[in-house]
Amino acid sequence: MADRTVKLSIFRGDPGGGDMVTYEVPTQEGMVVLDAVLWVQSHRAPDLAVRWNCKAAKCGSCSAEIDGFPRLMCKSPIDEYGDEISVRPMHTFPLIRDLVTDVSWNYEVNKRIQPFTPSEADLADPQPWRMQQEDVDRVIEFRKCIECFLCQDVCHVLRSHGQKDAFFGPRFMIRIASLEMHPKDAADRRPLLRGEAGVGMCNITKCCTEVCPEHIHITDNGIIPMKERMADLYFDPLRFVAGKLMRGRE
Amino acid sequence: MANEPYDTVDTDVLVIGAGGAGQRAAIAAAEAGCQVLVVCKSLLGKAHTVMAEGGMAAALANVAGADTWEVHFQDTMKGGKLINNWRMAHIHATEAPERVLELERWGAVFDRTREGYIHQRPFGAHTYPRLAHIGDRTGLEIIRSLQDHLVHMPNIEVHMETTVSSLLTWEGRAVGALAYRRVDGALVVYRAKAVLLATGGAGRIYRVTSNSWECTGDGVALAYHAGAQLQDCEMVQFHPTGMVWPPGVRGILVTEGVRGEGGILRNSRGERFMVNYDPERMDLSSRDVVARAINAEVEAGRGSPHGGAFLDISHKSPEYIRRKLPSMYEQFLKLAKVDITKEPMEVAPTIHYFMGGVRVGAEDGATTVPGLFAAGEVASGLHGANRLGGNSLSDLLVFGKRAGDAAAVFAQDHAGPVKIDRAQVERAIEELLGPLHRPDGESPFALEEELRDVCTEYAPLIRDREGLEKGLERTLELAERAARCSAGGPTGRAFNPGWHTAQDLRNMLVSAEALFRCALERKESRGAHARRDYPDLDPKLEAVNMVAQKSEGGMACFPVEREPIPDELRAIIDKKFPRFELEEGS
């Protein structure tokens, strides 16, 4: 292992075009793909653009497509790959340069989600809040999200169909879920889910769950319950009839 | 290079850095009615704060009813070996609880006690279980809660992936900064009525560190060049438990929460060696003591195979470990192929935190430069000679808020138009673009590696005069070479890491120089600063902090006496508090 070299092919280019460029990289035990990319940067190509921060799978900055699979580079040990490894930028977001893409759309989406909103009574309560661990546990899973946007990258609604105007994507489905299921949140985001967030666009292929480095069950625990909440409000036949009757009475 | 185009952006308060302190400060200044602009080197939410694991110290008394601000104050002062700014320690201990509860009201989620209150875990050198936490990813929770609060405030704007290269001053007052956008290399001049530094520490000046790439001491360098005083720069914390094996992961943090949850340190003979170093507090002694203990075991030939100690939590149930320490479980399984529910971890000290930094006022985070404020790791004073685990996250919130409030008041008191010195801007631009115009200079990556070797070798856990002098000499020599370095390769400005690294390097060199100078000046062993040639604590030096400042002949370093501690606070430090006994099942 210690003396092995790998052929690392990295996409080099900008919106005007680019190519895969291959670098020979010496490896050492425990090395991850990010280490190899940074070795190339400091020894072969000082202008190789790459985002990274913590190198400990906690910040979600170094997302890329390694041998075609969306992953965090810092959490991808070299020894899980063959002698040739390809690294490309995320496909779903506009390219800036080399491995860096423009993910600003995600930040814009987040601003459109109503933030945490406690009830008037809870806000006015001068005592420290009480919540039970089991209620907190429901949202803990979603709050593990490190915003690597790999789920957004792999989601075919965004990736293949480019429908960023119709669907907020898996990351923001679980963001909404984390608020909707928060024991102290009192807002109703079901109109948002049905409307511009577009929860109906997801057809549950679970690709997002598969790539999540935090192992969040995005589809099963987040998106499906959100679909159900939205359906309860808008498509429940009993509620539909009751709604008609109420309106008749007015 | 003259007449390089730049955008000019005006704001009331310019916040540099978007970790916990920067975000909390921005919220405070915005609440006070100011227009706030936050600039950060990375994307929002990626700051080093996300790596904080164990929790946030606050005397909420949810687990130990006897906990009060007085006990927290005593723990902090004793941990800091009494060179802390006592007023900061006082403020911190009294205000941390309200900052934690406030964060909960902004949507943060913490683990709960059986009664439904915020749960608190035991941590090193805290008398009582005191750390509000959520599993082992408390930093992420704090960042995300602040971030989601902040992005919905209409008078806060965030400029992500923007690096500040120089502060601008007008008649001695901080009035803005020169920065560049990483994405396209465009230059920006920020004009502000007040400037607040929240740039974190400088862990990257060492080879083995738990710190993210951003921790290059930017704020310390910016403040220093603007004329501000630095303080206690010799106080660099080695976290006792970083990963050691395999080499690719060396330095990554292993949370003190492992020991807080019952993890035990052992040497290669299976002995619980902490009994020889701190029989009372054992594995939960302060970080300086545990780090030196591991070091001593290794030097005595009782280290683990890769030069560390074993840390074992496998006596707890696998379910408990996975619930309380989920990211540790995942980190070891994925990166070291070790299942911590079954086998011990191998750990060794790793550079973690800078107690030293910019000298600030206790109440308001004001530096010695008018209009310039600092909060969080970049500032100095609260932690003295050694920081207790969990005191950093509460520091960010308590002093982030205070500095933000004070910056807002300063901005409102100086509401007139801000004047910028054009010649100063031109000089700063010339310096910033230099590496792109020197194709034949040395590589900043190589120089950075050399600096890491110098700090690692000459400012280690245990230091001496000879090594420190050598380290200082090498740092000054590196600074001369760095001033002539090249970005290397193509000279485009769009997302060019060679160029970015040249900027980082310039900043790192200031922190390294201040470290060596202050360490030479402090001729004793105290807290994180241990000297082979002065192995004992010198009681006379309890009264002083080492201060570094720009002068005619370069960096000057001298001791400055603190204001003496009032008797009533002194009495609290000497008070005896009952020990905590864990209730069955809690």
The residue with greater pLDDT, B56 or B580, is B56
Chain B residues in contact with A90 by the CB 8 A cut-off are none
> Nearest residue of B to residue A59 by CA position?
B46
A241 contact B CB<8A? no
Tell me how close the Cα of A235 comes to any Cα of chain B, in angstroms.
30
Q: What does the pLDDT look like over B535-550, one tens digit per residue?
A: 999 999 999 999 999 9
Residue partners of A245: CB distance under 8 A and separation at least 6:
none
Question: Cα torsion at B118, B199, B351, B145 (round to 10°)?
Answer: 20
B490 contact A CB<8A? yes
Across the interface, do A146 and B245 touch by the CB < 8 Å criterion? no
For residue A202, pLDDT over 80 is answered with yes
Tell me how close the Cα of A68 comes to any Cα of chain B, in angstroms.
20
CA dist list (Å): B133 to B117, B139, B377: 12, 9, 20
Tell me how close the Cα of A78 comes to any Cα of chain B, in angstroms.
10
DSSP strand pairing (B173-181 vs B162-170):
antiparallel
Taking one residue from A and the other from B, the number of pairs with CB-CB distance under 8 angstroms is: 174
Across the interface, do B109 and A143 touch by the CB < 8 Å criterion? yes
A41 contact B CB<8A? yes
For residue B579, pLDDT over 90 is answered with no
Mean pLDDT score, A152-164: 96
Instruction: Find the range with the poorest average confidence among A1-15, A162-176, B309-323.
Output: A1-15
Beta-carbon count within 10 A of A56 CB: 21
Q: What does the pLDDT look like over B528-537, one tens digit per residue?
A: 999 999 999 9
What pLDDT is stored for residue B207 in this prediction?
95
Across the interface, do B144 and A144 touch by the CB < 8 Å criterion? no
Q: Fold for domain B7-235+355-413?
A: FAD/NAD(P)-binding domain (3.50.50)
Across the interface, do A131 and B489 touch by the CB < 8 Å criterion? no
B109 contact A CB<8A? yes
Report the percent of chain A where pLDDT is more than 90: 88
- Assign B338 a pLDDT band (cuts: 50, 70, 90): very high
Mean pLDDT score, B294-300: 96
Domain that holds residue A184: 104-237
Nearest to B496 among A47, A52, A118 (CB): A47
CA dist list (Å): B210 to B51, B54, B351, B456, B572: 9, 14, 6, 14, 34
For residue B510, pLDDT over 70 is answered with yes
For residue A179, pLDDT over 90 is answered with yes
- Assign A237 a pLDDT band (cuts: 50, 70, 90): confident
What pLDDT is stored for residue B61 in this prediction?
97
Mean pLDDT score, B56-61: 98
What pLDDT is stored for residue A250 in this prediction?
46
A182 contact B CB<8A? yes
Length of chain B, in residues: 586
Residue B102 has which token pair?
């406030």
Chain A residues in contact with B252 by the CB 8 A cut-off are 55-56
Give the relative orientation of helices B20-31 and B138-150 as an angle to the nearest 10 degrees: 30
- Assign A234 a pLDDT band (cuts: 50, 70, 90): confident
> Residue B87, Cα to own-chain centre: how many angstroms?
20
DSSP state of B253: B
Mean pLDDT score, B226-254: 95
Flag whether A248 is in a domain: no
Flag whether A32 is in a domain: yes
Task: Look up tokens 């109703």; give the residue.
Answer: A188
Chain B residues in contact with A55 by the CB 8 A cut-off are 212-213, 252
For residue B358, pLDDT over 70 is answered with yes
For residue A249, pLDDT over 80 is answered with no
**One domain for residues A13 and A94:** yes
For residue A104, pLDDT over 90 is answered with yes
Flag whether A244 is in a domain: no
- Assign B247 a pLDDT band (cuts: 50, 70, 90): confident
**One domain for residues A112 and A57:** no
What pLDDT is stored for residue A242 in this prediction?
74
Q: What is the Cα–Cα distance from A50 to A72, expressed in whole angstroms? A: 12
Bridge partners (DSSP) listed for residue A10 = A21, A87
What pLDDT is stored for residue B583 in this prediction?
56
Alpha carbons within 13 angstroms on the beta-carbon side of residue B74 total 16
Q: Which residues of B are catalytic?
A: 239, 259
For residue A1, pLDDT over 60 is answered with no
DSSP strand pairing (B230-231 vs B544-551):
antiparallel
Could you say which residues from 48 to 77 on chain A have a Cβ atom under 8 Å away from some Cβ of chain B? 48-61, 75, 77
What pLDDT is stored for residue B489 in this prediction?
75
Tell me how close the Cα of B303 comes to any Cα of chain A, in angstroms.
20
What pLDDT is stored for residue A232 in this prediction?
85
Q: What is the Cα–Cα distance from A12 to A221, expressed in whole angstroms? A: 38
- The candidate with the shortest Cα–Cα distance to B242, out of B139, B142, B335, B339, is B335
Please report the DSSP string for B391-423 in residue order.
Answer: HHHHHHHHHHHHHHHHHHHHHHHT-SPPP--HH
- Tabulate helix, strand, coil % of chain B (nearest 5): 40, 20, 40
**One domain for residues A127 and A233:** yes
Flag whether A245 is in a domain: no
For residue A48, the domain's CATH number is 3.10.20.30
Q: What is the Cα–Cα distance from B107 to A179, expressed in whole angstroms? A: 8
**One domain for residues A51 and A119:** no
Q: Is the peptide bond before A183 cis (omega within 30 degrees of 0)?
A: no
**One domain for residues A47 and A82:** yes
Name the residue ranges covered by the structural domains of chain B: 7-235+355-413, 240-350, 432-537
DSSP strand pairing (B187-197 vs B264-266):
unpaired
A97 contact B CB<8A? yes
Residue B228 has which token pair?
């501000």
Q: What is the Cα–Cα distance from B25 to B16, expressed in whole angstroms? A: 10
A144 contact B CB<8A? yes
CA quadruple B337, B342, B348, B354: dihedral sign: positive
Mean pLDDT score, A73-80: 94
Three-state SS letters, chain A: CCCCEEEEEEEEEECCEEEEEEEEEECCCCCEHHHHHHHHHHHCCCCCCCCCCCCCCCCCCCEEEECCEEEEHHHCEHHHCCCEEEEECCCCCCEEECCEECCHHHHHHHHCCCCCCECHHHHHCCCCCCCCHHHHHHHHHHHCCCCCCHHHHHCHHHHCCCCCCCCCCHHHHHHHHHHHCCCCECCCCHHHHHCCCCHHHCCCCCHHHHHCCCCCCHHHHHHHHHHHHHHHHHCCHHHHHHHHHHHHHC
**One domain for residues A50 and A119:** no
A132 contact B CB<8A? yes
Type and span of the H or E element at B243 = strand B236-243
B152 contact A CB<8A? yes
Nearest to A30 among B119, B183, B248 (CB): B248
Domain end call among A68, A101, A134: A101
Mean pLDDT score, A93-117: 97
Mean pLDDT score, B377-391: 97
- Assign A246 a pLDDT band (cuts: 50, 70, 90): confident
For residue B2, pLDDT over 80 is answered with no
**One domain for residues A198 and A123:** yes
Is the separation of the CB atoms in B257 and B54 below 8 Å?
yes
Burial A106-130, CB ≥16 within 10 A → b, else e? bbebbeebebbbbeeeeeeeeeebe
For residue B586, pLDDT over 50 is answered with no
Flag whether A59 is in a domain: yes
**One domain for residues A70 and A86:** yes
For residue A198, the domain's CATH number is 1.10.1060.10
Task: Look up tokens 């204001």; give the residue.
Answer: B563
Tell me how close the Cα of A40 comes to any Cα of chain B, in angstroms.
11
**One domain for residues A114 and A16:** no
Q: What does the pLDDT look like over B115-150, one tens digit per residue?
A: 999 999 999 999 999 999 999 999 999 999 999 999
CATH of domain B240-350: 3.90.700.10
Choose the CATH number for B432-537 among 2.40.50.100, 3.30.750.200, 1.10.150.530, 1.20.58.100: 1.20.58.100
Instruction: Find the range with the poorest average confidence among A15-19, A99-103, A241-245, B541-545.
Output: A241-245
**One domain for residues A172 and A215:** yes
Flag whether A122 is in a domain: yes
Flag whether A243 is in a domain: no
Q: What does the pLDDT look like over B412-459, one tens digit per residue?
A: 999 999 999 999 999 999 999 999 999 899 999 999 999 999 999 999
How many domains is chain A built from?
Answer: 2
Q: What is the Cα–Cα distance from B557 to B546, expressed in whole angstroms? A: 7
> Nearest residue of A to residue B493 by CA position?
A47
Q: What is the Cα–Cα distance from B555 to B514, expressed in whole angstroms? A: 8
Beta-carbon count within 10 A of B157 CB: 16
**One domain for residues A27 and A87:** yes
Test the B interface: residue of A29, A37, A55 with most B CBs within 10 Å: A55
Chain A residues in contact with B443 by the CB 8 A cut-off are 42, 46
Tell me how close the Cα of A209 comes to any Cα of chain B, in angstroms.
17
What pLDDT is stored for residue A248 in this prediction?
58
What pLDDT is stored for residue B3 in this prediction?
80
For residue A216, pLDDT over 50 is answered with yes
Type and span of the H or E element at B555 = strand B554-561
Alpha carbons within 13 angstroms on the beta-carbon side of residue B535 total 2
For residue A241, pLDDT over 80 is answered with no
Flag whether A250 is in a domain: no
Average pLDDT of chain B is 96
Task: Look up tokens 């900055």; give the residue.
Answer: A61
Residue B39 has which token pair?
């600039």
DSSP strand pairing (B372-374 vs B187-197):
parallel
DSSP state of B103: H
Mean pLDDT score, A235-239: 75
**One domain for residues A197 and A182:** yes
Nearest to A59 among B50, B336, B488 (CB): B50
